[in-house]
Structure formats: structure tokens, C-alpha cells
Amino acid sequence: MLFWIVSLAIAAVLSAGLLRAYFKVGGPAANADLQVYRDQLAEVDRDAARGVIGEGEAERTRVEISRRILEADQAGRASEALGRGGLLVPSVLIGAAVAGAAGLYLWLGAPGYPDLPIADRKARAEMFKAERPSQAEAEAQTPLPPAPEPDAAYADLMGKLRNAVADNPDDPQGQRLLARNEAGLGNYAAAATAQSRLIALLGGEATATDYATLADIYVLATAGYISPEAELALNAALERDPKNGTARFYTGLMWAQTGRPDLAFRFWQALLEEGPEEAPWIAPIRAQIDLVARAAGVDYTPPATKGPDAGDIAAASEMSTEDRQAMIRGMVEGLADRLATEGGPAEDWARLISSLTVLGETERAKAVWADAQGVFADHPNELAKIRAAALQAGIAE
């Protein structure tokens, strides 16, 4: 209610100002100006009669004053016309402005939604974060698909590994192997137990990777949820290595899940821009950072994905022909796979078309161009960039 009271008060003040300016044109001020100009004309005639000024200068002055008299007279007539029009015109203008402002608010705003100052939002996010489910609660609420059954030989090896670790529970290497293989089988509870035991055995020698691996197991067990236990492991990893990519990615995800997209964006922007493109966290960041940036109130354009360019090809000039072709083809295939599965900006589609043409795979380049026309059908400016590459490659008209 307070919002609407303040809004109406502001509208009233602005409307009064508009009305005042509307009716101030000409009026008494214009009539006073006319009298001043007439007095000036009489003064010029007297000065000319006394010989104070020459006739030529007197005539020029009369012309200038006459021009000003005409302007003042026109202003006075306009004021009279406004007066005859009354409040109709200004009322229509003010009404249109108010209606437009109200419509814009109804479109962009949230009528009836309570104010959420930044401090309150942060407090709510902190409360939500503090009260979120534990790892055990989240696992109980997360149905995971059944893990595939291992073949008989691998199952036999796992049985031997479990027995060996049970017989020698203080062997760090055994716990490390057990944690890795249990996670691979989808036995996340057993994997977390083994990884936690490994960290306890290593003590101060446990690395950032050890803690990040524990957090990763927790996250896999909850299908992507960052629990308080996972957060503790992430914090321990970042204390030991602030550059640990896994810990930074999951920490950003944790902030996104707990109502702090501003902090999530800071973590993910740095990771995305640092690369490398083949890092496992790049693809999920690219898929979500637009939403996170908008939620954080940031206008952000992610960097384009990297494919083979002139610099890459030049760097391969000292390789043998076979190695060079293999390297370039591998980079092209990597770019093609990313665009097929994750999409990408127009620049990457154009680069793929050019690269395939260089490799002599014209038919594939045509297929990519056809796909691009469908993907970017609603984005003509982006499609134009791809069309330019297709034209240069000779596969578009």
C-alpha cells in the first residue's frame, strides 16, 4: 500500500508541474513584454529626433524591436488558445503518461508482491541454506536409477578388493581404490565411507583433490544437490587449493541452489573464462550461466567456445602431415560434437563449416549449414554470420 501512496504522490507533483508549464506559455508575461517593446520603440524615435543615433541605426533597431513585438504577440495568442482549450489537452497527456507507466509496471513489475530489499534477500538465503536437508535426508529423498550390474570378472575383483580393505582398513591406497570403484558402480554410500576413511588416514596430508572427490561422491549420491556435508568438503578443498575446479564449480552450484545467484555467478564466470574448454565443468556452466547471470542482475555474454583457428593450424605446421591432420581432425570433431549435443554461438557454427570445408568434407559442411538454418531461424543476425561462412565455403547461395 505504501508503494501506491508514494507513487500517486509523485504522479500528482509531476502533473502539477506539467500543468504549470502548460499554462505558463505567453499570458501576463507576454503582455508585459509587449509594453516594454512599445516603450523601446518610442525611446528610439526620441533618440533619433534628438540626433543621438543616426537614422540608419534607428531603422535597424525599430526592425528588431518590431520582430520581438510580433513574437510576444504570437505567444499571447497561443496562451489565449490554451486557455480556451481548458484542461482537456493536458488531462489527456497526463492520463496517457500515467496509463503507460501503470501498464509498464504491470508488465515488468510484480503487483502485490512484497518489497524484498537486498538485505532481506540475503537473510532469507542464509536461513534457507542453514535449514536445507542433510546428506542422509537428501539421499533418502532422491531415488536414483539402478546401477548396471558389473560383469562376473569385475564383480569378482570387487569382492576381493572389499575383503582386502576390510582386512587392512588402515591402508590409504586400498581405501582410495575402493572409493573410486564403489562410486563407479553407483554404490555412493560405500564410496563416501571409503573416501572419508582415506581422508582420516591421510590427516594433514589429505589434498584438495581428496576433499573434492568426497564432495563429488556426495553430489552424485543426491543427483546434484549440495548438502551441508558436501559444502564442508568443498570448503576444505578450497582451503588447500583455491583454484580447484571441481570445488569451485560445486561451490557455485551450492550458491545457486541456496538463493545467491550473485555468488554463483562469480565462481562460474571465472571458471568459464579460465577454461580449458574440455574441462568437465565447462559444459554444465555454459548450459546454466545465462539463467544465473539474469538472476544476479548481470548482463553477460559468455565467451565463445574454442575450435581450430588459424593459430592452432599454424602451431601444427612443424608436425608430420599425418599428425597434423589427426590433430586438426580431432579438434574439428570435438567442436562438431559440442555443437550437436550442447549447441553454441553462431561463430562456432561458422568455424565448423569453414574447418570441414578445409578438410574436404563438403557434404558434412552442407549438413551443418542446413542444421544451422533451423537452429538460428529466429535469429537472423546470428544466421547471417553463419551464412557468410557458408558462402565463402561455396555451399550456400
Q: Assess if residue 37 is contained within a domain.
A: yes
| Residue carrying the nine cell digits 534607428 | 58
Among candidate residues 61, 90, 108, the one where a domain is terminated: 108
Asked whether residue 55 is assigned to any structural domain, the reply reads yes
DSSP 10: H
Question: Which of 40, 75, 108 is the endpoint of a domain?
Answer: 108
Joined together, the cell numbers standing for residue 213 give 572427490
In a domain, 253, yes or no: no
Instruction: Give a yes or no: residue 291 inside a domain.
Output: no
Mean pLDDT, residues 199-217: 96
pLDDT digits (tens, 9 = 90+) for 291-325: 999 988 899 988 876 555 545 555 555 566 566 56
Q: Say if 302 falls within a structural domain.
A: no
What are the grid coordinates assigned to 306, written together?
574454442
Question: Would you say residue 255 lies in a domain?
Answer: no
pLDDT for residue 174: 95
- Top pLDDT among 172 and 151 is at 172
What is the pTM (predicted TM-score) of this model? Answer: 0.54
Q: CA nearest 234: which of 260, 258, 210, 200?
A: 210
Q: Which residues make Cβ contacts (< 8 Å) with residue 102, sequence separation at least 6?
A: none
What's the first-to-final CA gap in the chain, in angstroms? 61
**Domain annotation covers residue 18:** yes
pLDDT value at 82 more than 80? no
| Pure H helices in 51-87 | 55-85
Length of the chain: 397
Count of the separate structural domains present in the chain: 2
**The three grid cell numbers given for residue 195, joined into one nine-digit string:** 573416501
- The per-residue pLDDT for 314 is 56
pLDDT digits (tens, 9 = 90+) for 119-147: 777 788 889 899 999 999 999 998 888 87
The amino acid occupying position 40 is: Q
pLDDT value of residue 306: 57
Indicate whether 241 belongs to any domain. no
Q: Which residue has the higher pLDDT, 361 or 306?
A: 361
Q: How far apart are CA 224 and CA 188, in angstroms?
A: 13
- Choose one of 89, 108, 127: the last residue of a domain: 108
Residue range(s) defining the domain that contains residue 386: 310-393
Label residue 35 exposed, middle or buried (CB < 10 Å: 0-12, 13-18, 19+): exposed
Q: How much of the chain, in percent, has pLDDT values that exceed 90?
A: 34
